[in-house]
Structure 1
Amino acid sequence: MDNKQKAPGVGRRTLLAAPAAAALVAGPAAALLAGGEAASAHEGGAAGGFDWQSPRFALAVLPDTQYLFDEDSSDPAPLEATFRYLKQERAEANIAFMTHLGDVTEHGSEHEIGLADQAFRLIDGKVPYSVLAGNHDIRGGDDQRGDSAYLRAFGPQRFAGTPTFGGASPDGYNSYHWLRAGGREWLVLALDWRISDRGITWAQGVIDAHPKLPVIVTTHDLVWAEDSGEAHLSDNGQRLWDRLIRKNDQVFLTLNGHYWPPGRTVLKNDAGHDVHAHITNYQDRYYGGAGMIRLYHFDMVRNVIDVETFSPWFLARDPAKRTPLEAETIELTGPIDRFSVDIDFDARFQGFAPVPPTAPRPPAAVVSRTTVAYWRFDSSGLSGTGGAGAPVPAGAIARDLTGNGNDLTLQRLHTSAPEVVTWSAEHHPGQPAHASLRFDGGKGPDRGAILRAGANAPINNMKFLTGYTIEVFVKLPDPFEGDHAWMGIFNWEGRNGDAGKTTGWSPLEPTCSLNISPERFLQFVVYPEKQDADPTSWSHALPTGRWMHLAVVNNASATTVYVDGSKIARNPTQPSTGICTMGRPFVVGANSFDLGYGQGFYGWIGDIRISSKALRPEQFLTPHGK
């Protein structure tokens, strides 16, 4: 009789007794458990084109397959199709690892285990994975039960040559796997469905030996769910939570099968941090779940895990030949089966694996022979700096750290108060200098300040006929309050009409400027030196409350604008050679019109660099061009 039912009652989730705790014993491939973290991490396997350094990767989760391995009713085909999919799509989906959640088979017999053994051989050496015992795979008892057909097929000896395999408990029923993905290292604990006190001691030892690694706990029985998808700890799950999970802040995600329907919940550990507990099981669905898998797509850039659930077996079939039940089981798209989990990974892992702050880079590290001007607002680049929030005095000098003589002088517009521009320690995480200027500009004669090049600065006359790159770090306030339409980040003064340009919106606007529209779209408009034209680039709506790296790149023929290393959509292809500078000053902090200023910038401005060539994104001021 199957002991798994939909939404089981408390009496059906009774806790099996466990023996007294035993001393920690290291697994066969885990001599490192005696103390300290190992010197090097496993690579996660090179098969299948997996890229461990990519910030986006997937964890494949395979729940109960027991109805596919049920004596003479067995049909391995769905699982074999799933394994072929994982092999074929490993590179495309960047699949780091697969974890099975237990109940591989229905009765745990030699025949069923043998069939499952053959199916799993399809991914041996192709996709690293873990397997754990569910209640249908063994004859009862906890992980001290001794020998079994399951252990002979899926014990430590199966994984001994796998790069991700870290070791197993002495009984062989619990294992850990150490992988690299998303540019960092992770630990997966695969725990028996009834882990003993000895097993818990072993698991704690594994965590203690890897104190800086985020941990994913996989086991067969941890939470169960209501029809709504709201999940709750089972009796066994409560024990595992109290004895292991809640006191180890490294555990941020748990995955289990056993019960249906699927669901999830968020628990608070002893450190007050979230632990996401998910149940995945589809054996009650058509064809015993048809080898249904979940892909947990980790995105370390967006700080999110996107989850999808589907059957590769049905996906591979001719759509015209799918039966109704096959068609409705191809992919599950309800909120329980397709969802996203927001996790700020750096913040969540801060307590055990803090991200070391990047050190400031000296000017010499970012100035080259093609750098014509570089300004920064720490003590190396700005005179008269005070503490955070201190007004920058009028007349303060932002030195051109290339030595080319393009120093900028601060002046407040009209009757603006000193607080209209202040010094700030805020900065983009990839910015060379750990400082910026906070501009509190707005419309009207008393809301702005500018940094203006001297009358004889070389930058005022440079034409950039062989190309240019202008980079600047910017952050817009959140909330973004007031009317700041068409505020400027920088510009070269000068009326384009005076240069004989006839194509623009107004002959009174400057010959080059970077501005922000009322919708917070970035606008770069330039009047080229060689053409009578005003090619203009437009971005998407810029975010507030977040630092951005902006780059304008011209290759002597056309201009491309980047935001955080990503090319924006609306970059004109019309010819654009050089900048029609007219000997008028280069200015930061506002946009001129008819040689005057009526509105200052609102937000933060960090390092600014101008180069006399078109740089590639990987050459930008930000590490890796992002």
Structure 2
Amino acid sequence: MSDTRTGGVARRRLLQGAIAAPAALAVPGLIGAAGTAQTAAAAPVVPPASAGFDPDSPRFALAVLPDTQYLFDEDRSDPVPLATTFRYLAEQRGLANVAFMTHLGDITEHGTQDEIDLADQTFEALDGVVPFSVLAGNHDIPGGNDQRGDTPYLRAFGPSRFTGSDTFGGSSPDGYNSFHVIPAAGREWLVLALDWRVSDAGLAWARGVVDAHPKLPAIVTTHDLAYADDEGAATLSGNGQRLWDGLIRAKDQIFLALGGHYWPPGRTVLRNDAGHDVHVHITNYQDRYYGGAGMIRLYQFDLVRNTIDVETFAPWFLMRDAGERPPLGSEVIELTDDVDRFSLPVDFEARFEAFAPAPKPPQVPPTRVVGKDTVAYWRFDTLGLRGRVEEGATVANGAVAQDLTRKGNDLVVRRLHSTAAGLLTRSVEHHDGAPAHASLRFDGGQSPDRGAVLEAVANAPINSEKFLGGYTIELFVKLPEPFEGNHAWMGIFSWQGRAGDAGKTAGYSPLEPTCSLNVSPERFLQYVLYPHVEDASPTSWSHALPVGRWFHVAVVNDGEQTVVWVEGSPITRNPKQPAHGIATLGRPFTLGATGWDLGFGQGFYGLLGDVRISKRALEPSEFMSPF
């Protein structure tokens, strides 16, 4: 598998809400083997289900609860661990952004009325607090399939229980199969909760549910899906194979399938008929100390990092003081092997592209990008360098990128050294938030020096602008993947002219330009400024810029200091030194290289999109790609 282990930060974030358990509460009618009343953790007053949960956050959690049957086993029952788990989930609804909890079946050991009643009472802690589903396992119902008719399970956990839930979408006519639609990460997700033995009619119903929600990513939950060897490698069970053949493999929306029933836990990745990955997981801890103690998994979806972080832990042990935990409980507070704590890399946009393509922002006309404070704006679609954009088309020397403010700051293409024609080309690649859906691809480099630049025309006002009241310089940049060759200290933009000629003595060298944005050997962005007023060279440094990804970069000066932003996020190393204006010398503003002693060595290696310069400090909400 290509999965990677999750780091400790995610785990600590998960467990940060753990607190000592409160006083215990007697559960009426529950008598233990010693004749004493069993207790369940006291449930605090809880907020409504929506409180604290953010359906628009790109990060949310799906809680998975497997076989709890040994906690509901005749006079051996003890609901305390599960009651604690439910209290934990209620408290974590907002902290961990818990969207939903799904039980994987075998709620009870025998499915008797008394066991089901006790489970029913315990689950009341979640009603109206955290939306959830509960499916039937083989220990909850008599044999047969979902056509078995009335049972205590169906009366307690059938459709009537969930009709008041905002997520409940409906059930099969028999009541043993259901589905929920969960709002999370700004979209909706489909969860199917299927009986442990789905009939042909049940399979047809499930296919119909998926078909009726053609744009929703789907998760299948059931009891008997797969089993694993001691190394955690999972294989579909007979029933799992039936679900795979009759439902999962043909429905590309299904990307995750979860089952219990068997132990040890395990996982595998299967390819569906569309050639896409389906993650198949077994989750069951009834063989562990105290019947699993209500142990849960949290599947933490992170649509920014394109990752699902999986954590497995027992709140009943976690939420007790260390001295009050039984020794064996201390050993299973959380499970950290490869089948219980791991990360799944999932490119959500690519995985869901076939059935739910992410809407792409349309092109934005220049009139909506140019404002009263815009000094210059260049773009590389049909409104900039003229002619329809064709991927890989060569940009000729002398081609003009018009300044769309009409203030005379046009840029002219010039190749450096003996650079071949193909080292500056057009591309349809672009940042999703860029106004224009086009860019320029530069293939500059060292050994031998090569590249191309776009220089402002000789009389362009931008060449002498001092920006004493502040400024914002924005652009879209992408470093290629793979990032081949030596491109250390390549320039993205600069104002030509030697710092020494501007009377500056405090910087690295009097031969470097008065203002430049560069890329270090480690791919850190470096913004070097010689202010108009101060004899100084305050320099900003970013983190290492990943390759193969577009970034919006903004250099913002408020007339006093400079802050560099990457993707709407301020970088760490911005200097506190005063910085009033830019010490321009009337020489050309340049895209694609940083000069030295009035000449150029290497050019930029990568892609550049829209570039805009404003004569005041913009807020992130005002950037070309607002954040």
TM-score exceeds 0.5: yes
The answer on 1:83 being equivalent to 2:86 is yes
One-letter code of the match for 1:410? V
The answer on 1:379 being equivalent to 2:382 is yes
Q: Is the 8 A contact 1:385 1:423 kept in 2?
A: no
Q: Post-superposition shift, 1:384?
A: 5.8
Q: Is the 8 A contact 2:382 2:389 kept in 1?
A: no
Q: Is the 8 A contact 1:412 1:450 kept in 2?
A: yes
1:21-71 C-alpha deviation (Å, 9 max, x unpaired) = xxxxxxxxxxxxxxxxxxxxxxxx961311111111111111111111112
Q: Is the 8 A contact 2:217 2:254 kept in 1?
A: yes
Q: Is the 8 A contact 1:64 1:258 kept in 2?
A: yes
The answer on 1:163 being equivalent to 2:166 is yes
Q: 5+ unaligned residues in a row in structure 2: which ranges?
A: 1-47
Q: Post-superposition shift, 1:444?
A: 6.0
Identity percentage of aligned residues? 69
Query: C-alpha separation between the residues in 1 aligned to 2:211 and 2:387?
Result: 49
Q: Is the 8 A contact 1:513 1:591 kept in 2?
A: yes
The answer on 1:225 being equivalent to 2:228 is yes
Q: Is the 8 A contact 2:482 2:547 kept in 1?
A: yes
The answer on 1:102 being equivalent to 2:105 is yes
Identify the match of residue 599 of structure 1 among 597, 602, 606.
Answer: 602
Identify the match of residue 215 of structure 1 among 201, 215, 218.
Answer: 218
Q: Is the 8 A contact 1:492 1:587 kept in 2?
A: yes
Q: Post-superposition shift, 1:618?
A: 2.8
User: Which residue of structure 2 lines up, in the alignment, with residue 354 of structure 1?
Assistant: 357
Q: Is the 8 A contact 1:413 1:445 kept in 2?
A: no
1:276-312 C-alpha deviation (Å, 9 max, x unpaired) = 1101001111111111110101111221111010111
Q: What aligned pairs does 1:124-143 form with structure 2 within 5 A after superposition?
A: 124-143=127-146
One-letter code of the match for 1:125? G
Query: C-alpha separation between the residues in 2 aligned to 1:403 and 1:60?
Result: 56
The answer on 1:548 being equivalent to 2:556 is no
Change (3 A) 1:272 1:445: closer
Identify the match of residue 202 of structure 2 among 199, 204, 220.
Answer: 199
Identify the match of residue 281 of structure 1 among 278, 284, 290.
Answer: 284
The answer on 1:490 being equivalent to 2:493 is yes
Identify the match of residue 608 of structure 1 among 591, 606, 611.
Answer: 611
Query: C-alpha separation between the residues in 2 aligned to 1:535 and 1:321?
Result: 56
User: Which residue of structure 2 lines up, in the alignment, with residue 329 of structure 1?
Assistant: 332
Q: Is the 8 A contact 1:385 1:392 kept in 2?
A: no
User: Which residue of structure 2 lines up, in the alignment, with residue 440 of structure 1?
Assistant: 443
Query: C-alpha separation between the residues in 2 aligned to 1:579 and 1:508?
Result: 16
Q: Post-superposition shift, 1:494?
A: 1.6
Q: Post-superposition shift, 1:577?
A: 2.3
The answer on 1:459 being equivalent to 2:462 is yes
User: Which residue of structure 1 lines up, in the alignment, with residue 473 of structure 2?
Assistant: 470
1:246-297 C-alpha deviation (Å, 9 max, x unpaired) = 1111111101111111001111112222111101001111111111110101
User: Which residue of structure 2 lines up, in the alignment, with residue 53 of structure 1?
Assistant: 56
Query: C-alpha separation between the residues in 2 aligned to 1:589 and 1:596?
Result: 13
The answer on 1:341 being equivalent to 2:348 is no
Query: C-alpha separation between the residues in 1 aligned to 2:252 and 2:420?
Result: 49
One-letter code of the match for 1:516? V
Q: Post-superposition shift, 1:446?
A: 5.6
Change (3 A) 1:460 1:385: farther
Query: C-alpha separation between the residues in 2 aligned to 1:73 and 1:555?
Result: 70
1:540-562 C-alpha deviation (Å, 9 max, x unpaired) = 22122222221112222222212
1:450-502 C-alpha deviation (Å, 9 max, x unpaired) = 11112221212222222221111111122222211111000111211222222
Q: Is the 8 A contact 1:386 1:392 kept in 2?
A: no
One-letter code of the match for 2:438? A
Q: Post-superposition shift, 1:362?
A: 1.1
Q: Is the 8 A contact 2:131 2:165 kept in 1?
A: yes
One-letter code of the match for 1:563? V
Q: Is the 8 A contact 2:49 2:130 kept in 1?
A: no
Identify the match of residue 531 of structure 2 among 525, 528, 531.
Answer: 528
Query: C-alpha separation between the residues in 1 aligned to 2:402 and 2:359?
Result: 29
User: Which residue of structure 1 lines up, in the alignment, with residue 562 of structure 2?
Assistant: 559
Query: C-alpha separation between the residues in 2 aligned to 1:84 and 1:61?
Result: 15
The answer on 1:116 being equivalent to 2:123 is no
The answer on 1:365 being equivalent to 2:353 is no
Q: Is the 8 A contact 1:415 1:445 kept in 2?
A: no
- Please give the secondary structure, in 1, of the residue aligned with 2:358: coil
One-letter code of the match for 1:309? T
User: Which residue of structure 1 lines up, in the alignment, with residue 303 of structure 2?
Assistant: 300
User: Which has the higher mean CA deviation after the structures are superposed, 214-223 or 479-488?
Assistant: 479-488
Query: C-alpha separation between the residues in 2 aligned to 1:338 and 1:444?
Result: 47
Query: C-alpha separation between the residues in 1 aligned to 2:620 and 2:322?
Result: 43
User: Which residue of structure 1 lines up, in the alignment, with residue 7 of structure 2?
Assistant: none
Q: Post-superposition shift, 1:589?
A: 0.4
- Please give the secondary structure, in 2, of the residue aligned with 1:236: helix
Q: Post-superposition shift, 1:445?
A: 7.0
Q: Post-superposition shift, 1:567?
A: 2.1
Query: C-alpha separation between the residues in 1 aligned to 2:178 and 2:386?
Result: 59
Q: Is the 8 A contact 1:444 1:598 kept in 2?
A: no
One-letter code of the match for 1:365? R
Q: Post-superposition shift, 1:387?
A: 2.9
Q: Is the 8 A contact 1:51 1:94 kept in 2?
A: yes
Superposed structure 1 runs of 4+ greater than 4 Å apart: none
One-letter code of the match for 1:156? P
- Please give the secondary structure, in 2, of the residue aligned with 1:103: coil
Q: Is the 8 A contact 1:523 1:538 kept in 2?
A: yes
1:326-365 C-alpha deviation (Å, 9 max, x unpaired) = 2111111111100111111122112222234432111122
The answer on 1:291 being equivalent to 2:294 is yes
One-letter code of the match for 2:93? R
User: Which residue of structure 2 lines up, in the alignment, with residue 22 of structure 1?
Assistant: none
One-letter code of the match for 1:168? S
Change (3 A) 1:399 1:413: same
Q: Is the 8 A contact 1:247 1:269 kept in 2?
A: yes
One-letter code of the match for 2:73? D
Q: Is the 8 A contact 1:384 1:392 kept in 2?
A: no
What is the number of residues matched between the two proteins?
580
One-letter code of the match for 1:404? K
Q: Is the 8 A contact 1:551 1:563 kept in 2?
A: yes
User: Which residue of structure 1 lines up, in the alignment, with residue 157 of structure 2?
Assistant: 154
The answer on 1:234 being equivalent to 2:237 is yes
Q: What aligned pairs does 1:388-467 form with structure 2 within 5 A after superposition?
A: 388-443=391-446, 447-467=450-470
Q: Is the 8 A contact 2:434 2:476 kept in 1?
A: yes
One-letter code of the match for 2:577? Q
Query: C-alpha separation between the residues in 2 aligned to 1:372 and 1:362?
Result: 17
- Please give the secondary structure, in 1, of the residue aligned with 2:497: coil
Q: Post-superposition shift, 1:226?
A: 0.8
Query: C-alpha separation between the residues in 1 aligned to 2:208 and 2:386?
Result: 54
Q: Is the 8 A contact 2:49 2:131 kept in 1?
A: no
Q: 5+ unaligned residues in a row in structure 1: which ranges?
A: 1-44
Change (3 A) 1:287 1:440: same
One-letter code of the match for 2:233? E
Q: Is the 8 A contact 1:55 1:300 kept in 2?
A: yes
Query: C-alpha separation between the residues in 1 aligned to 2:67 and 2:180?
Result: 20
One-letter code of the match for 1:329? V
- Please give the secondary structure, in 2, of the residue aligned with 1:308: strand
Query: C-alpha separation between the residues in 1 aligned to 2:105 and 2:481?
Result: 47
One-letter code of the match for 2:206? A
